[in-house]
Structure 1
Amino acid sequence: MFGHSVHDVLSGFGLSVPVPVLVAIGCVIFVASTAFGFEMLGKVSKVAVPVIVVLMFVVLFVATGSDVVATEKLEQLPFGAAVSSVVGTIIVLVATSPDFGSFVHNRKHALIAGVLTFGLAYPVLFFVGAVPSSLTSEGSLLGAMAIIGTTLPAAVLLVFACVTGNAGNMFQGTLVVSTLLSKIPKWKITIALGVLATILGSMDIMAWFIPFLLFLGIATPPIAGIYIADFFMNRRQGYDESLLETEAAVKPMTFVAWGMGSLVGFATVNGMFTLTGIPSLDSILVASLGYLLLCRGKSVGAAVESK
C-alpha cells in the first residue's frame, strides 16, 4: 500500500518510479524506524499523527463538499463477513497490544491508550475512509478521491499512515519472533522481516487484500479470546512473573483452543452453519470456551492456593 500510495503521489507531479522500488524504499524506512527501538517509533508518531489528523479532515471536507453521486453499488459482502473484514484491520494490534503495553508506565496508562486507540482513533479513521467510498461506490480511498477530483490529500494521508502503521507492524513482528528465537538479536530479526516484506510487497497482492483481512478477522480473534479466558481463570490477581517462569513455555491445549475457534469462524463465514452471525465473534467465543474447558483443573490460581 505504501508503494502504490507514493507512486500515485509522484505520478501527480509527472514522475514515474516502479512500485517495487518504492516498496523497497518503504521497507528500509520501516526497518530503520524499528531498529532504533520503541523510542524512535514514538518520535515518528509525534510527527506523523498530527499530519494524519489534519489530512483526514481535509479528505472528509473535500468529499462531503463534492457533488459526486454514486452511479452503481459496490459488490456487497454479507454483514458478518464485512464486520470480520473490518475486525481484520485492527485485530492484530489488539492481540499484540500486551507487547506494547509492557512499555507504558502503569496499568492506567495502558487503559487510557487502549480507549483512545480502539474507542476513538480507529472509529474516526474508518468513518473518514468510508465516506468517500460510499459517495462514489469506489472500493479504494484513492479511487474515490480521484472521482471527487483530488487524490493528493488522500495519497499523502496513506503514505503517513503506512509509515506509522508498518513501522509498528515491523516492531510487533520483531517482538513476536524474538520470543520464539530468543538467541537471535532483534536487529537481525527486523532485517529478515524487512526483506520478507519487500519480497511480498513487490508482488501483486492488493487483489488479495480483502480476503487477507477476512482471514485475520477470523484467525486472530481466538488469540484474544484465549487471553481473556486465561485472565479470568488464572490471573485475576495479576501476572506473577515468578509463577509464569514455572509454567510450560508451550501449552498444546492453547493451540487446540485456537484451532477450534478458527475452524468454527471459517465454517460460519462460508455458511456451513450460523452462531452469532459474525464469524469473528464466533471464533473468539469458541476459543474462549474451548480454553476454559480444555484447561479446566489446571488453574494457576488453584496451584497458588494449594501452596
Structure 2
Amino acid sequence: MAAVPEESRQGWMSLTVVLFGFTFFSSTMMAGGQLGKALGYGAGLAKAVLVGNLLLAVYAAALSYVAFRSGLSTVLMSRHCFGARGSALADLVLGLTQVGWYAWGTDTVATVLIQTFHWPSELYVPMVLLAGLGFSITATIGYKGLEVLSATTVPLMAGLIFWSGYIALAHPSTPGGGGGEMTLSQAVTIVVGTFVSGATQSTNWTRYSRTATSSVVVTFLAFFLGNGLMVGYGALAGSVYQNSDVVAVLILQGLFAPALFMLLANIWTTQDNTIYNFSLAGCHFFRTERRRLVTFLGAVLGTLLALFGFSGYLVPFLLALGTSIPPVGGVILADFFYCRRGAYPSLAS
C-alpha cells in the first residue's frame, strides 16, 4: 500500500522472467486458435496479431514507465486520478477481471486432465478445488515466489512452443483460409482483450524496476513478443488442426508428456500472477495489509466461478475486457503526464 523503496528494486533479468511467465498463458493461445480458425493463417491474421499486440505493448510500456517513476501499483495510481472513493470502482473492475481469468485457468486444468486420462466426471469438483487453491501458493509468497517459478518454467515452455510450431508447419494439412466469420476489428479487439487486464496491472511488477529503460523495454517485449508468440502459435495450431485447444494439439502431435507440462506450467505461471494482482486490488479496496488472506479469498472466489461454468464465456469476456479496461489505464496515463506533469504527490497528502 506504498511506493516501492529503492532497496527493494529488482534488475532487468528478474523482471523479464516474471513478465514473460505472466504473458505465457494458455487462454491466449486458445484465443489465437479461434482467430486461426476464423481468419486462416494469412495476411488478415498477421495484421490482427501485429496491430493488437503492438497496441497492447505500447499501452503496457507506458504504464510501466509511470510505475517506475512513482513506485506505485495501478490501484494506487488510480487513487490519484479517481480519488479515494472513485478508485474503489477501478479496484472492483481490475480485481474481478483477474478472478475471471483465475476461474478460466482452474477449470481448464481440471477439465483437460479428466478428459486426457479418461477419469470419471465425479472427479471434476475435487480437481477444481485442488487446482484453485494450489495455484495460489506461490502468490502468497510474493514477488520472489513468482520469480522462482517463472525462471524455471519459461525457457522450457518457449522451447516446447517452437518445437510444436515446427511440427505444425511440417504437417500435410498446411495452414489455410479460415471460416471468415470474424472481422478484422473484432480480431484486434480479441487480441487486445487477451491480456489488456494484465497489461493494465503489469505495474504490480514494473514498480520494482531499477531503471526506466528496463521497465519500458522489458514490458514492451513481454507483451509484444511474449503475448504475440502465444497468439501466433495458437493461430497456427488452430489453422492447421482446426482445434483451438493447444493441449489437444500437442497430444495430436505425439507430445503427450510435454502437453501435460505445458498445461500445468503455462497456467500456473499466470494463475499465481493473476491472483497476486487480485490481492493488491482487494487490499486497496478494503484498505487492509492482509495480502495473504485476500489472496486466499480471491482463489476461493475464482474456484467457485469455475465450478459454476464461467469458462464457457471466454470470447464474450475477452471482447468486454478489450473495450472496458483500456479507459482505466488511459485515464491514469493522462492524469500522470498532463495533470501531474510527470510526478505524483505523496498519497498522504
**TM-score when scaled to structure 1?**
0.71
Q: Which residue of 2 aligns with 1:132?
A: 237
Aligned partners of 1:56, 1:35: CA distance in 2, in Å? 29
Specify whether residues 198 and 6 from structure 1 end up closer, same or farther in structure 2 by C-alpha distance, changes over 3 A only: closer
Asked whether 1:227 is paired with 2:332, we answer yes
Aligned partners of 1:77, 1:60: CA distance in 2, in Å? 24
Q: Is the 8 A contact 2:283 2:294 kept in 1?
A: yes
Residue 4 of structure 1 aligns with an amino acid whose one-letter code is: T
Q: Is the 8 A contact 2:283 2:291 kept in 1?
A: yes
Asked whether 1:87 is paired with 2:184, we answer no
Q: Which residue of 2 aligns with 1:272?
A: none
Select which of 259, 275, 281 maps to 1:176: 281
Asked whether 1:236 is paired with 2:349, we answer no
Select which of 304, 322, 343 maps to 1:217: 322
Alpha-carbon distance, 1:119 to partner: 2.5
Runs of 4 or more, structure 1, over 3 Å off, are 1-17, 69-75, 142-155
Q: Secondary structure at the match of 2:135?
A: helix
Residue 243 of structure 2 aligns with an amino acid whose one-letter code is: E
Q: Is the 8 A contact 1:132 1:141 kept in 2?
A: yes
Asked whether 1:37 is paired with 2:142, we answer yes
Contiguous gaps of at least 5 residues in structure 1: 247-307
Q: Is the 8 A contact 2:283 2:289 kept in 1?
A: yes
Contiguous gaps of at least 5 residues in structure 2: 1-104
Specify whether residues 61 and 152 from structure 1 end up closer, same or farther in structure 2 by C-alpha distance, changes over 3 A only: farther
Q: Which residue of 1 aligns with 2:164?
A: 59
Residue 245 of structure 1 aligns with an amino acid whose one-letter code is: A
Q: Which residue of 1 aligns with 2:258?
A: 153
Specify whether residues 53 and 71 from structure 1 end up closer, same or farther in structure 2 by C-alpha distance, changes over 3 A only: closer
Aligned partners of 1:183, 1:224: CA distance in 2, in Å? 23
Q: Which residue of 1 aligns with 2:220?
A: 115
Q: Which residue of 2 aligns with 1:195?
A: 300
Q: Is the 8 A contact 2:139 2:276 kept in 1?
A: yes
Specify whether residues 76 and 159 from structure 1 end up closer, same or farther in structure 2 by C-alpha distance, changes over 3 A only: farther
Specify whether residues 151 and 126 from structure 1 end up closer, same or farther in structure 2 by C-alpha distance, changes over 3 A only: farther
Residue 108 of structure 2 aligns with an amino acid whose one-letter code is: H
Alpha-carbon distance, 1:52 to partner: 1.2
The CA deviation string for residues 143-175 of structure 1, in whole angstroms up to 9 with x for no partner, is 444555655534432321110111000000101
Q: Secondary structure at the match of 1:76?
A: coil
**Number of residues of Structure 1 aligned to a counterpart in Structure 2:** 244
Q: Is the 8 A contact 2:139 2:273 kept in 1?
A: yes
Specify whether residues 112 and 97 from structure 1 end up closer, same or farther in structure 2 by C-alpha distance, changes over 3 A only: same
Residue 130 of structure 1 aligns with an amino acid whose one-letter code is: A
Aligned partners of 2:151, 2:176: CA distance in 1, in Å? 40
Q: Identity of aligned pairs, percent?
A: 21
Aligned partners of 1:76, 1:149: CA distance in 2, in Å? 31
Q: Is the 8 A contact 2:241 2:249 kept in 1?
A: yes
Q: Which residue of 1 aligns with 2:270?
A: 165
- Largest Rg, 1 or 2: 1
Asked whether 1:245 is paired with 2:348, we answer yes
Alpha-carbon distance, 1:16 to partner: 5.1
Aligned partners of 2:265, 2:107: CA distance in 1, in Å? 12
Aligned partners of 1:224, 1:116: CA distance in 2, in Å? 19
Asked whether 1:8 is paired with 2:115, we answer no
Alpha-carbon distance, 1:232 to partner: 2.4
Specify whether residues 184 and 60 from structure 1 end up closer, same or farther in structure 2 by C-alpha distance, changes over 3 A only: same
Residue 198 of structure 1 aligns with an amino acid whose one-letter code is: T
RMSD between aligned alpha carbons? 2.6
Q: Secondary structure at the match of 1:212?
A: helix
* Higher relative contact order (CA closer than 8 Å, sequence separation 6+): 2
Specify whether residues 73 and 149 from structure 1 end up closer, same or farther in structure 2 by C-alpha distance, changes over 3 A only: farther
Q: Is the 8 A contact 2:237 2:244 kept in 1?
A: no
Q: Following superposition of structure 1 onto structure 2, how do residues 20-35 of structure 1 map, counting pairs within 5 Å?
A: 20-35=125-140
Q: Secondary structure at the match of 1:89?
A: helix
Q: Is the 8 A contact 2:247 2:262 kept in 1?
A: no
**TM-score when scaled to structure 2?**
0.63
Select which of 108, 121, 124 maps to 1:19: 124
Aligned partners of 2:275, 2:157: CA distance in 1, in Å? 20
Aligned partners of 1:7, 1:156: CA distance in 2, in Å? 15
Residue 348 of structure 2 aligns with an amino acid whose one-letter code is: E
Q: Secondary structure at the match of 2:202?
A: helix
Q: Secondary structure at the match of 2:172?
A: coil
Q: Which residue of 2 aligns with 1:274?
A: none
Residue 194 of structure 2 aligns with an amino acid whose one-letter code is: T
